[in-house]
Amino acid sequence: MAPTLFGTDGIRGTANVEPMTAETALRVGMAAGSVFTRGAHRHSVVIGKDTRLSGYMLEAALMSGFTSVGMDVILVGPMPTPGVAMLTRSLRADLGVVISASHNPYDDNGIKLFGPDGHKLSDEVESEIEERIGNGTAPALVPTTRIGRAKRLDDATGRYIEHVKYTFPKGLRLDDLKIVVDCANGAAYKVAPIVLWELGAEVVPIGTVPDGFNINRDCGATAAEVVCRKVVESGAHLGIALDGDADRVILADERGRVIDGDQLLALIATCWREAATLKGDGLVATVMSNLGLERYLSGIGLKLARTQVGDRYVMEEMRASGRNVGGEQSGHVILADYSTTGDGLIAALQALAAIVRRARPASEVLRMFEPLPQRLRNVRFNGVSPLDRASVKKAIGAGEHRLGGNGRLLVRKSGTEPVIRVMAEGEDGALVGAVVDEVAAAIEAAVR
């Protein structure tokens, strides 16, 4: 077992390879269950998943772990991550679990944990769970009479659908709008088309036939060109691309152009400010968000607070600062009035509400600012991170010097997959691209 299980978004890895094995999942269930068994009431945990084949294996292992330490298990089947967070609070459960590797391919999987308030666990609580897993001492098993029970919640999907519809402004409808929705063959393959149809839209669904292997494969938020192409082909007004667990969204306007998380954050902050529902003096995003977003917000008198990458860090800052809008350029959009984590479908409905109210095309409504030239490259590696190599440090220093005060360079190790992300942005697009290529080349040379 790796010395550090938890990354920026729970535990993640290749299915049936440590740490993403049934044995580790069993231990996670036992350890997390023992941490959250507090008080004399009957304790419970909500477990949801996406559509990966390995989800069956991990679900059964987690269920065994939780019931062995006395927790009742509520199984909700395929369910978007924000749906599990919502149900954890709604059902007054002690813990929520999502079995998903989000935007990763089918052969990966992951385990995300939510506390009874529906928020992702803090680093401190994750460390406590990990310590109980790694110290070799198994949590105490309960007597036979106190073993937990497991049951399926038959109306889980309906509860989440109604929750999402509730967030759409009263009095508005999606009548006369044709919407393409790409569900990435993932957790939202049922709920997303239903929500849009029940609100009045003509729905063109894609990525809604999961087979256990095709999640995120040439579809969804990480393959936005698919929804862009379908929007143009079908003459739709908007395209919505979700990822495997539907906690992020990328939009496509009627011209087939991508609308990323930064543009969506700018739109929602602007609309909510006009409606006097924006809390705080701005919004929260990460170090990856474009400088164009920061300049746009400044121009309308709002501030941008930046955090490290990871939507849970965004949420922590939102809670600390009292802001109710935050998210990531990648499409995680957190609207604290409605959800405790990113919810791609709820965020998309806010964009649709703006389109309906303004009665203008998506291309005019959703593009809020002109982003600065930005380039991102991912470099895969095996074993030890190459960021400590002298050659890599030298390349990073040279890149920062070349950008000077007219741009920025960000090089970081991903918390969800074995890649180094190299991002630069600035006024000069050619320079930005050259800097990224040079740094990426130095990293590639170091990992050969």
pTM as predicted: 0.91
- pLDDT of 1 reads 40
Question: Both 272 and 177 in a single domain?
Answer: no
* Same domain, residue pair 383 and 333: no
**Is residue 148 domain-resident?**
yes
Q: How far apart are CA 278 and CA 314, in angstroms?
A: 16
76 and 24 part of one domain: yes
User: Which pLDDT does position 177 carry in this prediction?
Assistant: 98
Please check whether residues 268 and 228 belong to one and the same domain.
Answer: no
Read off the CATH number of the domain in which 74 is found.
3.40.120.10
Provide the pLDDT for residue 277.
Answer: 97
User: What are the catalytic residues?
Assistant: 102
Q: Which residue range is the domain that position 213 belongs to?
A: 163-257
Do residue 134 and residue 11 come from a single domain?
yes
Residue 35 contacts residue 125 (beta carbons within 8 Å): yes
Output the pLDDT for position 40: 81
pLDDT recorded at residue 137: 67
351 within some domain: no
- Whether a cis peptide bond, with omega within 30° of 0, leads into 19 is yes
Last residue of a domain, one of 257, 286, 304: 257
Residues of the chain scoring pLDDT < 50 = 1-3
Q: Domain tally for the chain?
A: 4
